[in-house]
C-alpha cells in the first residue's frame, strides 16, 4: 500500500499543497479569472498542470 501511495506522490503533493498555494497566490494578487472561475478551481488547474507531467516523468525537474 505504501508503494502505491509513493507512486502517487506528485499527485498527492499537487492536490494537498500546490492547489491551495496557487489559489491563495491568485487571490492575493487579485488576478481576474475567466468565466467567473473560483480561485480554488484555478489553483487546482495550475497544480494539475504541474503535477501530471511530474507524475508521468517520475520526477519534478
Cα 35 from Cα 57, distance rounded (Å): 32
Give the number of other Cβ atoms within 10 Å of residue 58's Cβ.
9
pLDDT digits (tens, 9 = 90+) for 2-47: 888 888 888 899 999 999 999 999 999 999 999 999 999 999 999 9
| Residue 61 pLDDT greater than 70, yes or no | no
Q: What are the φ and ψ backbone dihedral angles of 5, each rounded to 5 degrees?
A: -65, -40
Contact 58, 13 (CB under 8 A): no
Comparing CA positions, the residue from 40, 45, 16 lying closest to residue 27 is 40
Distance between terminal CA atoms of the chain? Answer: 26
Instruction: Output the pLDDT for position 10.
Output: 87
Instruction: Output the pLDDT for position 30.
Output: 92
Amino acid at each position: 500500500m505504501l508503494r502505491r501511495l509513493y507512486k502517487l506522490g506528485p499527485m498527492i503533493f499537487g492536490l494537498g499543497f500546490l492547489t491551495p498555494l496557487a489559489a491563495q497566490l491568485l487571490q492575493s494578487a487579485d488576478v481576474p479569472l475567466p468565466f467567473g472561475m473560483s480561485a480554488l478551481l484555478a489553483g487546482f488547474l495550475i497544480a494539475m498542470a504541474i503535477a501530471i507531467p511530474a507524475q508521468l516523468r517520475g520526477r519534478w525537474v
